[in-house]
A = this chain, B = another copy of it.
Amino acid sequence: MMTKPLMILLFAGVLGCLGPFAAAQPPRGPLVVSPQVHANKTVTFRYLAPSAREVLLNGGQFGASAVPMTKEAQGIWSVTVGPIKPDIYPYSFQVDGVTVMDPANVAFFPNERFKASLVDVPGDTPLVHALREVPHGTVTYEYYPSVSGTTGSVVIYTPPGYDKNTSQKYPVFYLISGTTDTEETYFKVGKTNFILDNLLAEGKAKPMIVVMPYGNVAARIAEQTGKPKPADPVVRDDAEAVSRAKAFETDLLTNIIPYVEKNYRAIPNRENRAIGGFSRGGGQTLRAAFGNMDKFAWVCSYSSYLSPQEMDRSFPQIGANPTNTNKQFKLLWVSVGSDDFLYQGTLEFMDYLKAKNVNFKSRITDGGHTWMNVKKYVAETTPMLFQ
């Protein structure tokens, strides 16, 4: 019988360094496969926790709220749920009351305030966000000089052929994520790149550059200048929130757009700039568009709105001169899910626009304030842009 160190040495030697201790964690236990999506669209989730007393599956967005898991061989907890309607959903485990990501799953939800993993239940025919055998665009992380001497990070999609057709110029869609999301969320959760790849392969959208900035400028300034992190915007007063929205708008207009138009083959005029956003990003979208009508001709608000009060106070010209508003905006899109906690406010915003004779397109869907709906809205609106 071999001693353990000798076995490790032999393995390492023969395998040429399949090093099992590549990072900070204790030696690994048995291999855990999770999530396992079955052909019938049920999904098995597993979590290794030999000494836990209770493990729950937290997958409320696919109807599995606090589902108890069962402890099986080797201390692996397991549960099978579904069938689940095909889509990509966030989930986590609750282990003796502690919320954790799935350590066996590389797919995660980039966010400043929570950690969730992602499960992808494929459709019988590929969904609009599926990785398919079509020409693929690329997703690039760019670093640009941002406000207050900081360096910003922005994620940019370029369509298939961008690097080949070097004389072609493209319109640009600026796409802003929600509260506590990061510049990665449209890529990692929203699958915006695959949605565009698929729409382009089917001839349903115009080739475009998609620019995905980070919305929380105040947090980045604090991080890079060593200042204390700003308090959570959710619990702040109005003035602070408006000032933060303004900081993002300044970054977008004075740093991001010029950077993109200098470094990418972008068509630099309002007819070829669209702006859209989800949740907080939708508010930032509407403010940036209504406050800078010379900059954007296409506007998409996903699960978001501005109040009639803010409209009258900050953007009175939108309703006062609907003829001009309707001429300037080639698309003003407002969408929301009927279970969204912002549903009523969004309806009021639509009523406001109607009462002022401002043209807009709208979509009320099922569902709530989720990234399943964001994917749906992105897939529905991008074909309308720049057409």
Contact = CB atoms under 8 A, between A and B. Distances in A.
Nearest to A308: B13
Interface in A131-148: 131, 133, 136, 138-145
Nearest to A280: B18
A387 interface: no
A90 B23 CA distance: 7
A238 to B, nearest CB: 5
Interface stretch (A267-275, A282-290, A355-363): A282-290
A84 interface: no
B19 A241 contact: no
Oligomer: number of copies: 2
A166 B263 CA distance: 12
A23 B109 contact: yes
B24 A59 contact: yes
A203 interface: no
A135 B268 CA distance: 23
Contact of A11 (B52, B234, B310): B234
A101 interface: yes
Interface string A1-43: 0000000110111111111111111001001010010010000
A335 interface: no
B345 A9 contact: yes
Contacts of A232: 28, 31
A292 interface: no
B345 A18 contact: no
A342 interface: yes
Given A24-B59, A91-B24, A163-B263, A16 B106 contact: no
A351 interface: no
Contacts of A114: 23-25, 28, 103
Interface of A: 8-9, 11-25, 28, 31, 33, 36, 39, 49, 51-52, 58-61, 89-92, 95-101, 103-104, 106, 108-116, 131, 133, 136, 138-145, 149, 151, 163, 166, 178-182, 187, 193, 224, 226, 228-229, 231-235, 238, 241, 245, 263-264, 278-280, 282-284, 286-287, 303-307, 309-310, 341-342, 344-345, 348, 368-371
A14 B307 contact: yes
A280 B342 CA distance: 49
Given A17-B283, A17-B305, A180-B22, A113 B108 contact: no
Contacts of A187: 141
A92 B15 CA distance: 29
A16 B90 contact: no
Nearest to A110: B106
Contacts of A245: 16
Closest CB pairs A-B (n = 3):
A16-B283, A13-B307, A136-B143
